[in-house]
Amino acid sequence: IINSIMRFKCVKSFMEPFPNYATLPDNAHYYIPNLPRLLNVEYEPTAEDVLHLRVPTTNINEINFNFSTCTIKLVDVGGQRTYRKKWIHCFENVAAILFVASMAAYDQSSLK
């Protein structure tokens, strides 16, 4: 059934990337064509399946690790608008800030 649905022209056109507009999660183009395999009762995730997962950051997550003689605190803050107000508390005694953006979405407009 899924293969039949995927052959419809309207579904194919929906799956084409929309420039500068985020309509589907960036991993949908991987998972939707793989639905027959993913829905199989004997399905076991592959390394590629795991690499395409998206787990949103909810709240502020911290991890400390040692590098040479330094202890580095890595702080992962949620990017959603509701979490941005909490960022201010992460900037005390900070020596560096690294912003990371998805290469799949760097040129897309936000609906927020």
Q: Is 54 annotated as a binding residue?
A: yes
Q: Is 80 annotated as a binding residue?
A: yes
Residues 68, 99: one domain?
Answer: yes
Give kind and range of the element (H or E) at residue 75. Answer: strand 70-77
Q: Among 46, 47, 73, 50, which Cα is nearest to 62's?
A: 73
Q: Distance between alpha carbon 104 and the CA centroid of its chain, in Å? A: 9
pTM as predicted:
0.53
**For residue 68, what are its two tokens?**
């040479």
Mean pLDDT of the chain: 79
Q: Is 53 annotated as a binding residue?
A: yes
**For residue 97, what are its two tokens?**
């800030």
Q: Is 79 annotated as a binding residue?
A: yes
Q: Is 57 annotated as a binding residue?
A: yes
Residues 41, 65: one domain?
Answer: no
- Print the domain residue range for 31: 2-51
Whether residue 19 is predicted with pLDDT greater than 60 in this model: the reply is no
pLDDT tens digits, 20-47? 445 677 788 888 889 889 989 999 999 9
Q: What is the pLDDT of residue 111?
A: 62
Q: Is 98 annotated as a binding residue?
A: no
pLDDT tens digits, 62-108? 889 898 998 888 888 876 777 777 777 778 888 888 877 777 666 76
